[in-house]
Structures are given as structure tokens and as C-alpha cells.
Amino acid sequence: MCLAIPGKIVDVLEEDRSLALVDVLGVRRKVDLGLLQDEPPETGDWVLIHVGFAMSKIGEADAREQLRMLADLGESDAAMEEVRGYGLEDG
């Protein structure tokens, strides 16, 4: 139920705009875009592929945001620890 991989659309096929050629590290396959017809993806977009169908568009901004949040992990807490060490808090 769960194996889905991000792939880049290298060509939206002309014969049938519901089909695209998708690339995953140099491996290519025609992927059905039929489930994304409400907001059809374009060449260059990244999509999540499951059993030969594109399930959703990958949000690059969301990915960046998530990595930023992870990179910040522990930093604000570490800063808090340091401040606590100064004994400035009540109780």
C-alpha cells in the first residue's frame, strides 16, 4: 500500500496529456497523470509515483521547510538550557 517514490516529469506526452515520462535517478517510465487532472503537473514538476500513477505533486517549499525545522531542532532548546543556567527564571 505504501511504496511510492518521487520522480521528475521529463515529458508530458502529447498523444494523451494524462500520461507523462517520469525519471527516477535515470530510470524512466510512463506514469498515468489521471489522478492529478484537477491541477495537471508540468514538465519539471516532481510527483509521487505509486503503481505507475502519480498520486500527488511534491511540494518543494514544504520539503525545504521540513528540513529547516529539523535542522533547527535542539538549537532553540539548547539556547533555553543555557539561559536557564543563568538562574534568571523564577522558581
Partner 1 sequence: MTSVVSKIRFRDPQVEMAHGAGGKASRRLIDGLFAPLLFGSVPVPLGDAAHVNVNGTCVAITTDSFVVSPLRFPGGSIGELAVNGTVNDLAVSGARAQALVVSYVLEAGLPTEILEAEVRAMADAARAAGVIIAGGDTKVVEHGKADRMYITTSGIGQLIPGLSISPAAVRSGDKILLSGPIGDHGITILLARGDLDLEADLCSDTRSVLPLVEALAEAVGAGVHWMRDPTRGGVATTLNELAHDCGLGVVLAEDLIPVRDQVRGACELLGLDPLHIANEGQFLAVVAAEQAETALDALRKTPGGQDAALIGEIGEQPAGSVLVTTLYGGSRMVDMLVGDPLPRIC
Partner 2 sequence: MRFVDEFREPELITRTADEIRRLANPARHYRFMEVCGGHTHSIYRFGLKDLLPSNMDLVHGPGCPVCVLPMGRIDDGLSMAERPDVIFTAFGDMMRVPGTKGSPLEYKARGMDVRIVYSPSDALKLARANPDKHVMFFAIGFETTAPSTALTLMRARAQGIHNFSVFCNHVTIIPAIRAILDSPDMRIDAFIGPGHVSTVIGCRPYAWIASNEDKPIVVTGFEPLDILQSIVMLLRQLKGKEKRVENQYKRAVPWEGNRAALKAMAEVFELRPYFEWRGLGFISQSALRIRESYAEWDAERRFSVPGVRVTDPKAAQCGEVLKGVLKPAQCKLFGKECTPEHPVGALMVSSEGSCAAYYNFEHRKRVVQIRPAVQEVA
Compare residues 3 and 69 and give the one whose CB is closer to partner 1.
Answer: 3
41 binds, among partner 2, partner 1, none (CB under 5 to 8 A by kind): none
Angle CA(25)–CA(27)–CA(33) in degrees, nearest 5?
100
Give, as ranges, the residues between 21 and 80 that touch partner 1 (CB under 8 A).
Answer: 24-30, 49-52
Compare residues 27 and 71 and give the one whose CB is closer to partner 1.
Answer: 27
Question: CA-based Rg of the chain, rounded to a whole angstrom?
Answer: 21
26 binds, among partner 2, partner 1, none (CB under 5 to 8 A by kind): partner 1
28 binds, among partner 1, partner 2, none (CB under 5 to 8 A by kind): partner 1
Q: How far is the CB of 89 from partner 2 (least distance, A)?
A: 19
DSSP per-residue string spanning 22-65: EEETTEEEEEE-GGGTTS---TT-EEEEETTEEEEE--HHHHHH
